[in-house]
Structure 1
Amino acid sequence: MERSPQILTPPEVARARVTGALVADILQSLRQRAAVGTNLLDIDRWAQEMILGAGAQSCYVDYAPSFGRGPFGHYICTAVNDAVLHGLPHDYALTDGDLLTLDLAVLKGGIAADSAISFIVGRPKSPEDAAMIATTEHALQAGIAAARPGARIGDLSHAIGSVLSGAGYPINTDFGGHGIGSTMHQDPHITNTGRPGRGYVLRPGLLLALEPWIMADTAKLVTDPDGWTLRSATGARTAHSEHTIAITDSGAEILTLPTAAVA
């Protein structure tokens, strides 16, 4: 049973803007630093330094949900190639053409924000990688465009799923977007496909993390022995894009956009 979603006050939404910008700036900094030869553990260490240096807290270090082998114990999720969600940083040096997803959630000023980006390290191996990434980004924008007061969660799911399925990708509904606020994961759950006109009615002050993700040729996930990292069952490549948004009187405001300094 879902609980009533948290509705933030205007001062809390203002604090969410600060957290969202921090998350976005950290992700862009990490993207710029990630190169062939970069170790995933270095990315995790850089994330830790930036989070703590900003006076913020990681949402991941002590994260121990029922589906993981917790606590997570790291500051960022690093998923490579066929890994797509909850990628546990480990001793791996990035190679030319790796498809890397960085997923980061941070708490600052009592409000959390969550975002993910996928990109190619070095020279691309296949145009399909770029197509997958672009599809998740387009689906994310479609979901954001559907988010406004009076809309329902199903409207967002339908908008996201229409882009993903329209591009020919299978859709897994086990993991998706979610409410967010004083904690990282809240109700409502937002599947990446669904029927319009159903579910919770959006209200100003609601924060949502929308996160379309796909695997090239399957909807089935498998879990690594680390108990966390989720991969495509076929070994196919994957992509994942995520923003935290705030529902306002006029629509949706993207909170996890980088500042001009690192854009």
Structure 2
Amino acid sequence: MIEILSPAKVQRARATGTLVADVLQDLRAQATVGTNLLDLDRWAARLIDEAGAQSCYVDYAPSFGRGPFGHHVCTAVNDAVLHGRPHDRTLADGDLLTLDLAVVLDGVAADAAISFVVGTARADESLRLIRTTERALAAGIAAAGPGARVGDLSHAIGTVLAEAGYAVNTEYGGHGIGSTMHQDPHVANTGRPGRGFRLRPGLLLALEPWVMTDTDQLVTDPDGWTLRSATGCRTAHSEHTIAITEDGAEILTLPTRGLSPLS
């Protein structure tokens, strides 16, 4: 299903997007050396509940998972990149952590992800991975607007990732979003321009470039959810929800405090 939202629903999506972004920034501040992933999940649950919203993940049970997910936020560390299921793990200095959060507020969903280094940020491959996904995300957003096609966004994202030397997995990528978290169209992280669904005002998309240092192959943890790099290399993932407008694209998941994932 491809859902085109009314102006009133897009306005509600702005509130949802701000909530997602602010919760992610709050969790980022809490994610220090010695923090347990389960504590991050508990903090996410409290913040979401206090806002009168619901996590999209708690009851999420798609065919590819061993569901329901049963937690409020995805926490992926180092070689984990997608669907990171919170578990009893304490963060260490230098860990690369990805937080991925989707919530529904007032009937409209928004989805975003940030990657960052816990503790001491070193000028190494971790920061290069993160910055590449952020640049790819910015390129995808810049390509979005009424009349553009999904392939234009995929091409823009994939060009940045490929030029940085990373292989691109096309099994998981961005997606439509609206009254539910995952909708059509699928937005692959590489593709050919001029192909696919033509974007229209009122369409919401969650764009999410992610890469792994030296592979495009994934393996699944015994938990049935957490996806890791097949080689054990580090990974990064950046995501925003955007709304297609009459004259471009609006990022809905910008925080009101802290740093934007694109800064």
> Could you tell me the TM-score, scaled by structure 2's length?
0.97
Matching residue's letter, 2:113 = A
Inter-partner Cα distance in structure 1 for 2:208 and 2:55 = 19
Counterpart residue number, 1:36? 33
Inter-partner Cα distance in structure 1 for 2:216 and 2:121 = 24
Counterpart residue number, 1:25? 22
Counterpart residue number, 1:229? 226
Matching residue's letter, 1:129 = S
Q: Secondary structure at the match of 1:258?
A: coil
Q: Secondary structure at the match of 1:41?
A: helix
Asked whether 1:194 is paired with 2:184, we answer no
Inter-partner Cα distance in structure 2 for 1:157 and 1:71 = 30
State how 1:55-94 maps to structure 2 within 5 Å: 55-94=52-91
Inter-partner Cα distance in structure 1 for 2:249 and 2:205 = 10
1:125 Cα shift? Answer: 5.1
Inter-partner Cα distance in structure 1 for 2:134 and 2:123 = 18
Q: Secondary structure at the match of 1:13?
A: helix
State how 1:43-192 maps to structure 2 within 5 Å: 43-124=40-121, 127-192=124-189
Matching residue's letter, 1:214 = V
Counterpart residue number, 1:215? 212
Post-superposition CA distance 1:60-109 (Å, at most 9, x none)? 00000000000000000000000000000000000010000000000001
Inter-partner Cα distance in structure 1 for 2:158 and 2:224 = 28
1:144 Cα shift? Answer: 0.1
1:127 Cα shift? Answer: 1.1
Q: Secondary structure at the match of 2:18?
A: helix
Inter-partner Cα distance in structure 1 for 2:121 and 2:211 = 18
1:207 Cα shift? Answer: 0.1
Inter-partner Cα distance in structure 2 for 1:170 and 1:140 = 16
Matching residue's letter, 2:201 = P
Post-superposition CA distance 1:112-171 (Å, at most 9, x none)? 000000000011355111011000000000000000000000000000000000000000
1:21 Cα shift? Answer: 0.1
> Could you tell me the TM-score, scaled by structure 1's length?
0.97
- Unaligned segments of structure 2, at least 5 residues: none
Q: Secondary structure at the match of 1:44?
A: helix
- Unaligned segments of structure 1, at least 5 residues: none
Provide runs of 4+ in structure 1 moved above 2 Å. none
Inter-partner Cα distance in structure 1 for 2:121 and 2:131 = 14
The count of aligned residue pairs is 259
